[in-house]
């Protein structure tokens, strides 16, 4: 542990004594992108060895996304680091030169999870590095040893030790980092239970935290679903649920189907499920990452009161086949907490769409994602109005997690803070105001000084009633005033020489 403490100290000292320029950060990220782009096969093989993750899934959901997001940040970093000027300013501030700059926070801790280990490590990492921070990255060595070693090799070949420290181990190392090392921000992705521990530890040092958690993300299939495209829609649903064996923070957790279309949806769903029914422990399909989660998921299958389709398990390989469970209610064991596995419960509902949204908010408020399968704009408007969620996807699943040109993050019990590309820059920087008051403006400021008089108060009250001035107009006026003053001075000097 002493080595972690010493290296952590090196990162903090390096940040204070040798801050990186934007050019330096872009050069580091460009080098990292080039090295990572040549490392697909060894990293994909490592993830395959850890929990049988298919190469296609790994490339689509992680590797390709990591390269693309890094490119996006490199190409747009200057604009991402800029802050917009105010549109209008009160007259009392109109003489000031003002700007807002984004500055790096310092040394930050990123704790990455096991389920999408590459993208959920790289996405916050490149944002933190681009913003000018130094980083301690805690990888899931205890659960994914092969992947963690492969990624560490890539990272340490690019980033110098005064910029990045990769930490291995498991709970012991994470606990040490949280309790013994002071950070300027902590970024955690994982379960709500561990998120609470991270939050409590961070509060002791008043360290700001981003928590990317999860929750039970509902799928609403309303009576307004486009039945002419139902097969494609259900393919999207099952893909979203069973990718990565359901171990996805934004995976569809359960499905709510309007009774008007329930029979038709179930008939087509069983047909769409046929391709998954052939999957076994030898297939190119992800396994559950650890024994604890396998036992939990197996227990859910055994205890549910619903009708189970699929549900085969192989304990030796930590394999659970894709599973659908129908004819359940809100009290079923499957509806108690986030499933985080390849089990899809389906509930039939009667009544209005608004009433089922209310039922969701009563049972599992603020999910990380909400999915709507409907062609009705009215349904979407109602969902946006009555349900708080990290994101809403219409006739699609999962994509919010990979769409790095939009923010990603939770609300309420699903977490707080967000990231992705520009939003990662915002997360890992502080917006600092820089204000400069010119000395020539002193004649306008005299009324604020002691001694205070009734006359001064009346003047200041009158001043406060003047409407705000467009900021660009203020800049133009100040510019032309400066030109006039300079011209007046230069003209005076010229005339003195001309006499």
pLDDT in tens, 124-157: 999 999 999 999 999 999 999 999 999 999 999 9
**Separation between Cα atoms, residue 135 and residue 15, nearest integer Å:** 10
**Separation between Cα atoms, residue 398 and residue 251, nearest integer Å:** 6
Q: What pLDDT is attached to residue 494?
A: 53
Beta bridge partners of 408: 419
Q: What pLDDT is attached to residue 492?
A: 58
Beta bridge partners of 366: none
What is the average pLDDT score of the chain? 94
Fold of the CATH domain 2-213+422-431: Aldehyde Dehydrogenase; Chain A, domain 1 (3.40.605)
* Interacting residues of 181 by C-beta distance below 8 A, sequence separation 6+: 4, 5, 8, 109, 136
Q: What pLDDT is attached to residue 84?
A: 83
CB contact at 8 A, 405 and 420: yes
**Separation between Cα atoms, residue 309 and residue 51, nearest integer Å:** 24
pLDDT in tens, 273-331: 999 999 999 999 999 999 999 999 999 999 999 999 999 999 999 999 999 999 999 99
What's the Cα-to-Cα distance from 204 to each of 344, 427, 429, rounded to whole Å? 40, 21, 21
Q: What pLDDT is attached to residue 275?
A: 94
Largest CA distance in the chain: 105
Nearest-CA neighbor of 363 among 471, 188, 201, 215?
215
Catalytic residues: 212, 249
Q: Which residues of the chain fall below pLDDT 50?
A: none
Give, for 255, the enclosing helix (H) or strand (E).
strand 252-258
**Separation between Cα atoms, residue 136 and residue 144, nearest integer Å:** 18
Q: What pLDDT is attached to residue 381?
A: 98
Q: What pLDDT is attached to residue 491?
A: 58
The verdict on domain 217-403 having CATH code 3.40.309.10 is yes
Q: What pLDDT is attached to residue 483?
A: 57
The residues spanned by each domain of the chain are 2-213+422-431, 217-403, 438-491
pLDDT in tens, 244-261: 999 999 999 999 999 999
End-to-end CA distance of the chain: 80
């Amino acid at each position: 542990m002493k080595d972690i403490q010493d290296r952590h100290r090196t990162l903090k000292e390096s940040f204070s004594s040798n801050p990186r320029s934007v050019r330096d950060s872009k050069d580091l990220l460009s080098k990292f992108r080039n090295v990572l782009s040549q490392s697909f096969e060894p990293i994909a093989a490592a993830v395959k060895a850890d929990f049988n993750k298919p190469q296609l899934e790994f490339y689509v959901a992680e590797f390709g996304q990591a390269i693309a997001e890094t490119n996006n940040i490199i190409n747009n970093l200057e604009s991402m680091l800029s802050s917009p000027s105010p549109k209008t300013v009160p007259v009392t501030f109109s003489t000031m030169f003002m700007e807002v700059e984004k500055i790096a926070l310092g040394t930050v801790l990123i704790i990455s999870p096991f389920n999408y280990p590459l993208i959920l490590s790289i996405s916050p990492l490149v944002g933190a590095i681009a913003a000018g921070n130094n980083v301690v990255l805690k990888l899931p060595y205890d659960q994914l040893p092969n992947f963690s070693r492969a990624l560490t090799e890539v990272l340490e070949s690019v980033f110098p030790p005064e910029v990045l420290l990769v930490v291995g181990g498991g709970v012991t190392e994470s606990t040490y980092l949280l309790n013994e090392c002071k950070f300027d921000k902590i970024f955690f992705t994982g379960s709500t239970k561990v998120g609470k521990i991270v939050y409590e530890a961070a509060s002791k040092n008043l360290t700001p935290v981003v928590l990317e958690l999860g929750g039970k993300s509902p799928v609403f299939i309303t009576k307004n679903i486009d039945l002419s495209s139902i097969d494609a829609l259900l393919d999207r649903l099952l893909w979203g649920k069973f990718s990565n064996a359901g171990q996805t923070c934004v995976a569809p957790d359960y499905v709510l189907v309007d009774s008007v279309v329930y029979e038709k949806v179930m008939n087509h769903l069983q047909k769409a499920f046929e391709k998954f029914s052939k999957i076994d422990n030898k297939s190119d399909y992800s396994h559950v990452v650890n024994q604890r989660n396998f036992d939990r998921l197996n227990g859910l299958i055994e205890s549910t009161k619903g009708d189970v389709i699929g549900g085969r398990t192989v304990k030796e390989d930590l394999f659970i086949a894709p599973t659908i469970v129908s004819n359940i209610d809100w009290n079923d064991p499957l509806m108690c907490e986030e499933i985080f596995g390849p089990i899809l419960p389906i509930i039939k509902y009667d009544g209005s769409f608004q009433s089922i949204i209310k039922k969701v908010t009563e049972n599992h408020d603020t999910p990380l994602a909400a999915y709507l399968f409907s062609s009705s704009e009215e349904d979407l408007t109602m969902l946006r109005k009555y349900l708080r969620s990290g994101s809403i996807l219409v006739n699609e699943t999962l994509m919010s997690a990979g769409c790095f040109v939009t923010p990603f993050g939770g609300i309420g019990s699903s977490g707080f803070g967000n990231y992705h590309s520009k939003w990662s820059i915002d997360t890992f920087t502080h917006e600092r105001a820089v204000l400069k008051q010119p000395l020539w403006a002193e004649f306008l400021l005299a009324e604020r000084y002691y001694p205070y008089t009734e006359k001064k108060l009346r003047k200041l009250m009158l001043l406060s009633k003047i409407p705000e001035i467009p900021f660009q107009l203020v800049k133009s006026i100040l510019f032309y005033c400066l030109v006039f003053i300079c011209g007046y001075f230069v003209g005076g000097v010229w005339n003195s020489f001309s006499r």
